[in-house]
Structure 1
């Protein structure tokens, strides 16, 4: 007889807009008694994101709909991730309650190394959830850094009872880092589809959105979203407008949402190329505004080179019926984008290929709309509920009651 209800703790780094929907979905499930334990308050009241170098204040509730608490973070250090959060109190929080299982996010934080043995001594099953890609950023780490990180990663993974994989690429990554294959299970990359549906219902008309961007009503719009950092390769999206397939397409415009250390360089790139009338920068946008931008756009473009295992903006764009043109550097790209059906995948850094695929998507409105509908169906099949049910099946197995 399976257990009727599991007491589940989640040790999360800090409130994150893309995760709040998952916590709410877990909390609503009749077989889960959830409590999220946060290690930091970053992101609650607006904060400067060091990688974006801009103030971030989300326009969606981050703490509603699920039980949560905060453990004091003793660290003020930010020079390396492992010491960003030092929360000795996590040990007492886990052992004071009768949890059946705990989800830990990643291994590169000292507090998770405190939580892991505390949970195991208490008999709490440990589920690991960590982003990582075969095209990931650690491929670009120095040999010395990898000589330290990889044994730590392997030891952490082998101490966990189950390992959630957000994609096939993520599964391959975890195996390459020493994860036992029989402990892996699927918990697909997803976003809050219900929230997106609400945003879609209240969005302004495409005409009004384009007017607010300074684009003509007849514009064909490609949308890029992300931090302005080297790995996101936003510059490739700008350069594509000057490539042969799009050079003379004055009706094709690029909308860019995001911010970061390369903003001035990207703005200079636009001016140098004479694209001021075809490219607009919007800075950081909250989820509601991002959804509105996606609804008003004709194609979503993502050119990442590495360190982008499961970009949530991609999943949002799919649900909101955008055809997608993404690079091979996007971890989930090959699984979520089927060439010719809902978009295209191009070799990272190949600006001509990027431009060609964008032109292909924009060449036929009827086909483009059909591709958008296919994107929507892909996103519907990869929602939070799918991952929650998969987690419960694994908990049943772990507790020996399946």
Structure 2
């Protein structure tokens, strides 16, 4: 029997489009994706990057979708009033879904969908929030009460990892209401079985002036406080001052910390900075480096999908304990190291330790681990729930 699944999400995202295609390919599932940020149909205005982003990989082929008109006067996915779709509920009703999967609740229209359909159609939720940044106090208690109310409007939550599961349990959901659906990327695109990205990366690495004996650490992401790239800059500078080495740092991205970073690395020949690179280039970018580092201090580094990408490119990873994926992907897996967030000395120690190991072997372990975190498992989890 054909089951209909309505998916509510703000805009096309490279981390979800492959999943939608996979679900649409199931013979007994009819999928329709309702995009609620209609202004993002062609490109997304990313305030942190400070530019309009238009991905250079296809995100709208292979599945049924509709952009529902967003009437918000200040459209965007980062605030409650940024998503307002007066026609959304009616359009979902016309589709007659057997279940509704909502991505993100903290936008007016998304929460209205959850509240309206609760008790009428199974309402499912996908999010990757954690308790990693939670502090004690009245604000936390108040937020917990609000979130318990929010999650009373869903029937199931698809959690992405250990920290995500803890979050849902803390906000009133029961074990029976939780389904594991691992955070994933398009592993095949990053693994590059034909070796083209490897060849391009070797050429690019030479063009950047790196030698075979250099150990290149990569930071790729937004230059923002949350991701804390300046801590990594300071760690590399400190290690170089104490002992001249072949340790290099490659910073790739844009963002509000850009001027500060440029000032810090002005006289550091061993640190290079490159601008934002689009998605088709990222499998090459990771291969230029020897180690990928995500030194986030939060709040809000709920997972860190760049870690998945780096691991799929056979790269060892070094992350802070504020990165949501650390317990699932890195802890006890021999794929890299976890350091204490904000602790410069611990970051330096972990960097030195990693540089003294067999990075090729660690990278192979990383690739083997990440192949288990794939879209097929998310699809199977959703399909299993639909068939109940």
Instruction: Calculate the TM-score normalised by the size of structure 1.
Output: 0.89
Select between 180-189 and 48-57 the one with higher mean Cα deviation. 48-57
Q: 1:160 aligns with which of 135, 154, 175?
A: 154
Deviation at 1:339, TM superposition (A): 4.9
Q: Give the counterpart of 1:124 among 118, 121, 133.
A: 121
More displaced 10-residue stretch of structure 1: 293-302 or 75-84: 75-84
| Residue aligning to 1:248 | 243
- The change in CA–CA distance for 1:91 and 1:340 in structure 2 (over 3 A counts) is closer
CA RMSD of aligned residues (A): 2.3
Tell me by how many angstroms 1:217 deviates. Answer: 4.7
Between the aligned partners of 1:14 and 1:148, the Cα distance in structure 2 is 30
Alpha-carbon offset, residue 154 of structure 1: 1.5
Partner of 1:297: 289
Q: Determine the structure 2 residue equivalent to 1:345.
A: 338
Q: Closer, same or farther in 2 for the Cα pair 1:269/1:124, shift >3 Å?
A: same
In structure 1, what is the Cα distance between the partners aligned to 2:331 and 2:137? 34
Residues 118 and 200 (structure 1 numbering): CA distance in 2 closer, same or farther, change over 3 Å?
farther
Match among 158, 183, 188 for residue 182 of structure 2: 188
Matched, 1:318 2:318: no
2:234 aligned to which of 231, 235, 239: 239
Q: For residues 88 and 78 of structure 1, what CA distance do their matches in structure 2 show?
A: 14
Structure 1 equivalent of residue 97 of structure 2: 99
Q: Quick one: distance in 2 between partners of 1:105 and 1:143?
A: 28
1:370 matched residue in structure 2: 361
Alignment of 1:205 onto 2:200: yes
Show the counterpart of 2:347.
354
- SS of match in other structure, 2:24: helix
Counterpart secondary structure, 2:15:
helix
Q: Assess, with a 3 A threshold, how the Cα gap between structure 1 residues 371 and 290 changes in structure 2: closer, same or farther.
A: same
Distance of 1:200 and 1:234 partners within structure 2: 32
The answer to whether the Cα contact below 8 Å between 2:9 and 2:104 also exists between their aligned partners in 1 is no
- Shift in CA distance, 291/280, structure 1 to aligned 2, threshold 3 Å: same
Deviation at 1:305, TM superposition (A): 1.1
SS of the residue aligned with 2:363? helix
- Pick closer, same or farther for the CA change 1:343–1:89 going to 2, 3 Å: same
Per the alignment, residue 400 of structure 1 pairs with none
Tell me, yes or no, if the aligned pair for 1:244 and 1:352 is still in contact at 8 Å.
no
Deviation of 1:140 after TM superposition, in Å, equals 7.1
- Whole-Å Cα distance in 2 between the matches of residues 233 and 391 of structure 1? 35
Structure 1 pair 141/228, CA: closer, same or farther in 2 (3 Å)? farther
Structure 2 residue corresponding to 1:109, chosen from 107, 110, 116: 107
List alignment gaps of at least 5 residues for structure 1. 398-402
**How much does 1:323 deviate?**
0.5
Q: CA deviation at 1:283?
A: 1.7
Q: Report the Cα offset of residue 340 of structure 1.
A: 7.2
Contact map agreement 1:246 1:252 (CA 8 A) in 2 = no
Q: 1:275-290 residue pairs with structure 2 within 5 A?
A: 275=268, 277-290=269-282
Whether 1:88 and 2:86 are equivalent positions in the alignment is: yes
Superposition deviation, residue 244 in structure 1: 3.8
Aligned to 2:55, what secondary structure does the other structure show? coil
